[in-house]
Amino acid sequence: MAGPSKIKRIGILTGGGDAPGLNAVIRAVVKVAIREYGLSVTGFLNGFGGLIKNQARELTEKDVIGILPRGGTILGTTNRDNPFHYPVVKGGEKVFVDVSDRIFENISIHGVDALIVIGGDGSLSIAKELHAKGLAVVGVPKTIDNDLLATDQTFGFDTALTTATEALDKLHTTAESHHRVMVLEVMGRYAGWIALAAGVAGGADVILIPEIPYRIDKVIDTINQREVQGKKFSIIVVAEGAKPVDGELVVQKRVEDSFDPIRLGGIGHVVAQQVEEATGKETRVTILGHLQRGGSPTAYDRILATRYGTEAVRLVVEGRFGYMVSLRGTRIDAVPLTEATGQIRSVPLDSDLLLSARQLGICLGD
């Protein structure tokens, strides 16, 4: 692939689930590549599917006008189309094959010298494999779950957190009015960052996260104790990946041709039913779902995404391929993709925020 002095055209794609701030990264890449370095930019459509199917478009400064505050991605995205595990029909049956060579062919057709991949663990793991095969790749960390190992924060998380906190603010008023228990189920996959942060910010009484298997009797004791104290309502935040001690995850469905085939969801209903049966209190469930992925990114996410996009272009120009841009404290850094993928960043059990939750009297189910 091209060295740093030979870069003339950058490719860019957005993979995995959508997140607020994707357009901000695209905008930064396009503007910085063209203005600062005189490069051209090609956008591949719908994640790695665009690379496989040769679906692309030229991106100019005109194309990114007005997209900074927009949610979603102007390039489209998908959490399927893994080129190393791509579904095809042979003999009437679906099988999975390696079509990664097509990516190199299509990259060459468009004259792309280096590729910026914006995605979470799944997309960046694919980027890592493509780099090992010889592709000049730079990664940008994206996920509302905030569970990427080698960065302090991913863009998209702050907006999802804000959405969840606003939902809790609204649930408080109806819970108090009707003397109910309100259960809010949030995303996060196997990490509890959204649930923990939103629960603290939104004044929850119970927070259940994947990192701490819960005992339902502890949850029920908390609600009953609040009743004794004259507090006629309770708010429970539960992460979709939470599970009871000696229990299992609640799986909504499986999507076999996805990088992560398991779709979590439904734990909120399980908790609500157990609480209502044990306490006799009317209990309602709100599953926030994809509302957490949508909408205009917060100012923080716009700035972080812009900083990531700017740094990604600089890494390409300097020839630092196989790296992902990263936030370390307040500084933008770069880490090898090999260190950024394969494991998730869970909430540490000695986290300051976790300790604060305990000291506030929030029940964590243990």
Kindly report the number of other CB atoms within 10 A of residue 94's CB atom: 10
How far out from the chain centre does Cα 255 lie? 18
Q: State the Cα–Cα distance between residues 125 and 142, nearest whole angstrom.
A: 13
Residue 166 one-letter amino acid = E
Tokens of 312: 């990604």
Give the strand order in the sheet containing 181-186: 206-208, 234-239, 181-186, 283-287
Give residues with Cβ within 8 angstroms of 198, minimum separation 6. 161, 164, 165, 167, 168, 184, 186, 204, 237
What SS3 state is found at 103?
A: helix
Q: Are 164 and 184 in contact (CB under 8 A)?
A: yes
Q: Which of 81, 113, 145, 158 is catalytic?
A: 145
Nearest Cα to Cα of residue 142 among 273, 22, 320, 291: 22
- Catalytic residue at 366? no
Q: State the Cα–Cα distance between residues 276 and 279, nearest whole angstrom.
A: 5
| β-sheet bridge partners, residue 13 | 117
CA torsion 90-251-144-53 (nearest 10°) is 10
Active site residues: 145
